[in-house]
Structure 1
Amino acid sequence: MDEVEVVVAHSERATLRVGNVFLKVDADQARIDAEVEAMASAPVPTPEVLWRKPPVLAIAAVPGTALGRLGEPTTASPAAWAAAGATIRTLHDAPSPPRPGRAGPRLDALAAELDGECAWLVTNDVLPADLVTRNREIAQAALRPWTPVFTHGDLQIAHVFVDDDEVTGIIDWSEAGQGDALYDLATLTLGHEKHLGDLVAGYGTDVDIDLDVIRAWWSLRSLLGVRWLIEHGFDPTAPGCEVDVLRSRMSA
């Protein structure tokens, strides 16, 4: 009998693996519905939905291995990163779903959330004030109008699978919807800045890609993520993770 592996678990949702089947347990049925809808409409490789019985969604494992993991060096080749860029471009060029994704809130609401998190980080002595202030300044560049596209919304490096320099699947679509294309590119390269050039080369240079905006999203995403990670049992201070990303911006 296959063992049950806890892939991730916190108060909002849990994902278990049994053999080649992943079981996603989520009390928010709307989030599961959005994930299934996004996978069905995305013109890129996604996991096969095996069955649904609320609050559980069963999906098949995708072939290949993850492009990498946050906080760890990636062994993926430049060609694999370029393939990921081309696949993301295919997604962004597709008709987007009607719902806003994680990367698609109103700018004023996002700015207010960011300022609130920055204040919390400083008031509670979680991070030094100069570190927060500098990254808040950098993050401002992301707070500009953008043309909404079909975004994954949580395109972490561990959510993209490759085999022989080809993308075999993208997982975890619960945050998909209309959003900023550069947010997806920034999320995938968070903590892996040296691979940004390969990713952009695959994505295509026929569109306007502002690298400073991508770097701004690194700061913005990290500032917004620290408290959530702490409160859900994760460590944003682990080597190569969110706090290290913020520190790297001090000398940028």
Structure 2
Amino acid sequence: MEGEGTGRVEVVVAHDERATLRVGDVFLKVDADRARTDVEVRAMALAPVPTARVLWRTPPVLALAAVPGEPLGRLGEASSASPAAWAAAGAAVRRLHGAPLPPWPGRRLDEVAERLDRECGWLLANGVLPAELVTRNREVARAVLRPWAPVFAHGDLQTGHVLVEDDEVTGVLDWSEAGPGDALFDLAVLTLGHEERLGDVLAGYGGDADLDVDLDVLRGWWSWRSLTAVRWLLQHGFDPSAPGCEVDVLRARL
């Protein structure tokens, strides 16, 4: 939500599930699933990190005020953000994970396993990716199939959802997937395609004993996220095989 308003209507993102429009300094999110917007509004009210201000809500539309700053990065592009900005993002994630759990259900381990199996089966049955690539990453992804102590997780913490300015986090956006979840999933999504920034993120997050940062699990979430995203991306007009994006993340595990 960076930049100055222009008074014109800008389509930020649009597909058959939801759309986001910008009009001046107001963002209008239109979502066909009211439950997602319910979660977003509740999560932003509870999160101990900067979020967009809710201006009004008339389902299916949610109006949010613009937040200053620039995205921490973009998948498929080199990030120009400083190591200090990445560390600040890690510190913001730590604050979120240290907050009380939100009072609604989160992702279950059996759902994680079932989705991995379903999406890998679809990729293989339709010849979307080479069998070796799917099989290897499925093996890597199995590292995430273990119990975890739930934290207040954002659930979709991609770099484009974290805004920074002067090496500080000014806003964390798009909370519709928030809920109790695995801390390492948030850290993995934040560093997906930006593996070289993991050290900076962990420096800000902190390495004390209340979270064992298991790199095998982190890599597993990189594989899981990428494998399970390919079908949705293809069906909604996005290209997971673009340089630096999901397919390249999967190739890095070979």
- TM-score range (shorter-chain normalised) is over 0.9
Offset at residue 100 of structure 1 (A): 2.9
State whether residues 80 and 162 of structure 1, in contact with CA within 8 Å, keep that contact through their aligned partners in structure 2: yes
Q: For 1:204, which of 184, 198, 206 is the aligned residue?
A: 206
Whole-Å separation in 2 of the counterparts to 1:175 and 1:85? 19
Offset at residue 119 of structure 1 (A): 1.3
Work out whether 1:193 is the aligned partner of 2:199. no
How many residues align? The count is: 247
Offset at residue 115 of structure 1 (A): 1.1
Offset at residue 240 of structure 1 (A): 0.6
TM-score by length of 1: 0.96
Instruction: Report SS of the residue matched to 2:19.
Output: strand
Deviations 1:181-234 (A, max 9, x none): 000000010000000000001000103111111111000010000001101111
Pairwise CA RMSD of aligned residues? 0.9
Whole-Å separation in 2 of the counterparts to 1:170 and 1:192? 18
**Identity score, percent:** 72
TM-score by length of 2: 0.95
Offset at residue 109 of structure 1 (A): 2.6
Q: For 1:34, which of 30, 39, 48 is the aligned residue?
A: 39
Partner of 2:227: 223
Unmatched tracts of structure 2, length 5 or more: 1-5
One-letter code aligned to 1:29: R
Q: For 2:163, which of 154, 161, 164 is the aligned residue?
A: 161
Instruction: Report SS of the residue matched to 1:167.
Output: strand
Partner of 2:18: 13
Whole-Å separation in 1 of the counterparts to 2:78 and 2:105? 32
Q: For 1:60, which of 55, 59, 65 is the aligned residue?
A: 65
Partner of 1:49: 54
Following TM superposition, the consecutive aligned residue runs of length 4 or more in structure 1 with deviations greater than 3 angstroms are none
Offset at residue 27 of structure 1 (A): 1.7
Unmatched tracts of structure 1, length 5 or more: none
Q: For 1:246, which of 227, 239, 250 is the aligned residue?
A: 250
Deviations 1:81-118 (A, max 9, x none): 000000000000000112234xx22x223212211111
Whole-Å separation in 1 of the counterparts to 2:132 and 2:46? 43
Partner of 2:75: 70
State whether residues 148 and 180 of structure 1, in contact with CA within 8 Å, keep that contact through their aligned partners in structure 2: yes
